[in-house]
């Protein structure tokens, strides 16, 4: 392997130094990654892996796509950061593109998924004056204090109380939602497909019912498309399956091809509630990340990755069925697989066999590969999962 692709620190030393120098908030896999291209990554010892985690649904256009790399390099030589005290061209071009893609009216930029949810919650408070949020059981909306209040897992929330905690209702249950939403509800926040929970797709009609319930009660409807956005599910956004337009949509992950960026878009009547000074961020929508996002969106269009996600997702599910799982859930290349196996061990075995996958529970694997993945690569991953079972 070429020297520039090698890590200067040996793996065991790396683990020791990480343990001493970095907050130990992450459970890491036993591997040091140094390079990526398309759906593949390589470790510090030169071993190749197929990456069916894709930076947790971030690398939709694949690792180091040449067009994105070129856009970043070109922009980095021109202007990296100026702050939001000044106009920059890429930010406005990107906002216009996101308006077209989502059918929303105005964009607010930020730097992560949790921040986009924070922005949505603050906008809800400003627009409605109400603090009560209704969210779904199993929901994941991020780890900052506001977003954490709408994240279901008690283990994430409890150590950090008091929070503005949401009222949680079972997902995909319109009656339960209706019973929970009152005149005091500021907003209902839903993932159009639940991701971190292990990929749960609602019945057709659920999101439409949610829209009606919110309209009847005068509450806002927020769709968190941080994970489902940018072709992941076989549509540009998972909401497109339902035809439902939310009042607010949150985006991040795949948006800037791997650079940290989030966005919150809203309908005009809601977005007007944010006045100058109501919210802001030093880095948000900077020239460099915005250039990366514009290039990423262009690649998704040029390479027809939304359609590809639908086709390859269907193929992946067909092949996975042959393994006889308990259940397969998903849309496009966002697939959850329940297995009669210890999935933590399965993830480790797959890693040894050169495949990166991720478990969202003791018996659940989530497969979220780059949308550029090929049939041969899918075949190999399914074979490795089968062998590892
Ligand atoms: N919302 C959803 C639906 C997510 O899946 C995630 C992350 O997995 C987040 C919000 C939080 O995003 P971030 O990790 O960028 O803060």
**36, 53 contact by CB (below 8 A):** no
Partners of residue 337 on adjacent β-strands: 328, 365
- What pLDDT score does 43 carry? 95
The verdict on whether 340 is a catalytic residue reads no
**pLDDT tens-digit series, residues 191-227:** 999 999 999 999 999 999 999 999 999 999 999 999 9
* 91-112: pLDDT as tens digits: 999 999 999 999 999 999 999 9
Residue 250 has, within 13 A of its CA and on its CB side, a CA count of 29
pLDDT bin (cut points 50, 70, 90) of residue 165 is: very high
- The answer to whether 11-61+304-388 and 67-302 have equal CATH topology is no
* Mean pLDDT over each residue of the chain, to the nearest integer: 97
- pLDDT for 1: 55
Ligand 1 centre and the CA of 376: distance in Å? 30
- Contact indicator for 361, 327 with CB cutoff of 8 Å: no
CB-based pocket (< 6 A), ligand 1? 56, 112-114, 117, 140-142, 191, 195-196, 224, 226-227, 252
pLDDT, position 8:
76
pLDDT of residue 328: 98
Can you tell me the distance from the alpha carbon of 164 to that of 151, in angstroms, rounded to the nearest whole number?
11
pLDDT for 270-280, tens place per residue?
A: 999 999 999 99
Q: Rounded distance, CA 79 to CA 177, Å?
A: 47
What's the confidence (pLDDT) of residue 2?
A: 63
10-33 confidence digits (pLDDT tens): 899 999 999 999 999 999 999 999
pLDDT at 155: 95
Give me the pLDDT at residue 261, please: 98
Q: How many angstroms does the Cα of residue 269 sit away from the middle of ligand 1? A: 26
Ligand 1: atom nearest CA of 253 is 15
The answer to whether 301 is a known catalytic residue is no
- The helix/strand count (H/E) of the chain reads as 14, 15
Domain range 67-302, its CATH number among 2.60.40.420, 3.40.50.300, 3.30.930.10, 3.40.640.10: 3.40.640.10
DSSP character string of 175-226: HHHHHH--TTEEEEEE-SSB-TTT-BPPPTTHHHHHHHHHHHHT-EEEEE-T
Q: Does residue 331 register a pLDDT over 60?
A: yes
Determine the Cα–Cα distance for residues 283 and 57; give it in Å rounded to an integer.
22
pLDDT of res. 300: 98
Active site residue 383: no
The Cα–Cα gap between 345 and 160 comes to: 30
If one looks up domain 11-61+304-388 in CATH, what number appears? 3.90.1150.10
Residue 3, pLDDT above cutoff 70? no
Q: Which pLDDT belongs to residue 40?
A: 98
Structure confidence at residue 184 (pLDDT): 98
Query: 284-319: per-residue pLDDT in tens?
Result: 999 999 999 999 999 999 999 999 999 999 999 999
pLDDT of residue 7: 73
Nearest Cα to 174, choosing from 243, 128, 221, 131? 221
Structure confidence at residue 9 (pLDDT): 82
Task: Tell me what percent of the residues of the chain surpass a pLDDT of 70.
Answer: 99
Q: Which of 51, 168, 230, 253 is catalytic?
A: 253
Cα 63 to Cα 44: distance, rounded to the nearest angstrom: 16
Q: What is the mean pLDDT of residues 241-268?
A: 98
Q: How many percent of the chain have pLDDT more than 90?
A: 97
- In the sheet that holds 106-110, the strands lie side by side as 106-110, 262-266, 248-251, 220-224, 185-190, 132-136, 167-169
From the candidates 140, 223, 237, 274, give the one annotated as an active-site residue: 140
Angstrom distance (rounded) from CA 135 to CA 166:
6
**Token pair 């929901």 is at which residue?**
139
Residue extents of the structural domains in the chain: 11-61+304-388, 67-302
**CA 51 / ligand 1 centre spacing (Å):** 19
Residue of 43, 224, 240, 247 marked active site: 224
């Amino acid at each position: 392997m070429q020297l520039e692709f090698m890590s200067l620190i040996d793996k065991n030393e790396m683990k020791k130094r990480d343990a001493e120098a970095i907050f130990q908030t992450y459970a890491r896999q036993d591997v040091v990654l140094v390079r990526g291209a398309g759906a593949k990554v390589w470790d510090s010892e030169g071993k190749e892996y197929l990456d069916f985690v894709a930076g947790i649904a971030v690398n939709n256009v694949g690792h180091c796509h040449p067009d994105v790399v070129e856009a970043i390099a070109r922009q980095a030589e021109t202007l990296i950061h100026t702050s939001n005290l000044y106009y920059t061209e890429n930010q406005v071009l990107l906002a216009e593109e996101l308006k077209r893609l989502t059918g929303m009216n105005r964009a607010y930029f930020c730097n992560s998924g949790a921040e986009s949810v924070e922005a949505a919650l603050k906008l809800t408070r400003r627009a409605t004056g109400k603090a009560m949020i209704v969210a779904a059981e199993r929901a994941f909306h991020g780890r900052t204090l506001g977003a954490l209040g709408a994240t279901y897992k008690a283990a994430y929330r409890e150590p950090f109380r008091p929070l503005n905690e949401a009222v949680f209702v079972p997902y995909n249950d319109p009656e339960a939602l209706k019973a929970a939403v009152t005149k005091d509800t500021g907003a209902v926040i839903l993932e159009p497909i639940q991701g971190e929970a292990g990929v749960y797709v609602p019945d057709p009609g659920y999101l439409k019912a949610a829209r009606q319930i919110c309209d009847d009660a005068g509450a806002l409807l927020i769709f968190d498309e941080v994970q489902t956005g940018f072709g992941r599910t076989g549509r540009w956004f998972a909401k497109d399956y339902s035809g439902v337009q939310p009042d607010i949509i949150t985006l991040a992950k795949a948006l800037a091809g791997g650079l940290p960026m989030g966005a919150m878009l809203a309908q005009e009547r809601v977005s007007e509630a944010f006045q100058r000074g109501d919210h802001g961020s030093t880095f948000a929508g900077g020239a460099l990340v915005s250039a990366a996002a514009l290039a990423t969106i262009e690649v998704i269009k040029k390479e027809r990755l939304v359609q590809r996600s639908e086709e390859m997702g269907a193929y992946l599910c067909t092949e996975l069925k042959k393994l006889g799982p308990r259940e397969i859930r998903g849309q496009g290349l966002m697939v959850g697989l329940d297995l009669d196996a210890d999935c933590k061990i399965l993830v480790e075995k797959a890693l040894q066999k050169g495949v990166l996958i991720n478990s969202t529970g003791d018996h659940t694997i989530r497969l979220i590969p780059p949308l550029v993945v090929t049939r041969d690569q899918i075949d190999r991953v399914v074979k490795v999962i089968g062998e590892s079972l």
